[in-house]
A and B are shown apart, each in its own frame.
Chain A
Amino acid sequence: DAKTTQPPSMDCAEGRAANLPCNHSTISGNEYVYWYRQIHSQGPQYIIHGLKNNETNEMASLIITEDRKSSTLILPHATLRDTAVYYCIVRVPLRYGGATNKLIFGTGTLLAVQP
């Protein structure tokens, strides 16, 4: 079962910031939050991840609340090419002390960027 809850869909105007929320109230202390996006019929594309601190890269920013029960992905200037399903994912380890991990996908948020 997915450990995250996301709105099924959101709209955003082109050029504006897109803020995608995610709830993960049952997340454990060593579990990371990952964001991927999937354009129709393609493999998911990694965006960003974090554990406790806010993170920023060339694609997006990730804001994680202090209690780690929710997070927000921010696309600062959305373009039409950002239209996709965005998945907020909790990554759980498959083996204690090992490097294999499992991404538990939910159904994601369909972000539609409008011209």
Chain B
Amino acid sequence: SQTIHQWPATLVQPVGSPLSLECTVEGTSNPNLYWYRQAAGRGLQLLFYSVGIGQISSEVPQNLSASRPQDRQFILSSKKLLLSDSGFYLCAWSSSEYTDTQYFGPGTRLTVL
């Protein structure tokens, strides 16, 4: 069966510091990968998605970037965090088959102070 991991689970960072969040998927090959962000009391917003190694598409302009160095690894980064980057970050995967479902990881709660 497939599993998705995210770390760290929680993170408190000062404004202006760098960020690196990691997501890995097990039990599948060539997944589609997604990064979502959830602001307090709101639904999830898609930030980035990837259909393969080195292929990243951005959905919204922002202070963040994403990379996919390996088939089942997806990284969310920032060079300098802003207060507005605080939120709950969720990674999801789906099969590369058409109409397949997205499955979410446990999330990382980021607080920027």
Residues of A within 8 A of B (CB): 2, 32, 34, 36, 41-46, 49, 87, 94-95, 98-103, 105-108
The answer to whether A103 touches B46, judged by C-beta atoms less than 8 angstroms apart, is yes
Q: What's the nearest-Cβ distance from chain A to residue B83, in Å?
A: 21
Tally A-B pairs: CB < 8 A: 62
Q: Which residue of B lies closest to A46 (CB)?
A: B101
On whether the beta carbons of B42 and A99 are closer than 8 Å, the reply is no
- Interface residue ranges of B20-71 to A (CB < 8 Å): 32, 36, 41-46, 49, 51, 57, 59
Interface of A (DSSP majority class)? loop
Which residues in B have some Cβ–Cβ distance to A below 8 Å?
A: 32, 36, 41-46, 49, 51, 57, 59, 88, 90, 92, 94-107, 109
A94 lies within 8 A of B57 (CB)? yes
